[in-house]
């Protein structure tokens, strides 16, 4: 019986196989994605308010305007141990 690959492996491989598109690489969401994934990994299980502050700061430091409602949802998922950015 074949083992199923770990969660996210397929999407990670597809991401690596995508051709480099300069315009896409310049998007804030693309530039900050690794930082948000790191926050999700590093802060898993921490209180949502702490996670929210870290996500907000990361987006502002990158020059973006945070969507607080969306960040609250992400923070709750990270508090529960899930990383929505990986």
**pLDDT tens-digit map of 12-62:** 777 777 767 777 778 888 899 999 999 999 999 999 999 999 999 999 999
Q: Concatenate the DSSP letters of all residues of 7-74 into one string.
A: TTHHHHHHHHHSPP-HHHHHSHHHHHHHHHHHHHHHTTTS-HHHHHHHHHHHHHHTT----HHHHHHH
Give the domain ranges of the chain. Answer: 26-86
Return the structure tokens found at 36: 């948000």
- Whether pTM > 0.85 for this model: the answer is no
Largest Cα–Cα distance of the chain, in whole Å? 49
């Amino acid at each position: 019986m074949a083992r199923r690959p770990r969660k996210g492996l397929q999407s990670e491989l597809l991401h690596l196989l995508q051709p480099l598109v300069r315009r896409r690489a310049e998007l804030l969401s693309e530039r900050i994605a690794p930082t948000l994934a790191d926050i999700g990994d590093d802060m898993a299980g921490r209180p949502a308010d702490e996670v929210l502050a870290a996500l907000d700061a990361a987006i502002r430091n990158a020059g973006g305007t945070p969507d607080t409602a969306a960040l609250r949802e992400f923070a709750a998922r990270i508090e529960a141990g899930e990383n929505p950015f990986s």
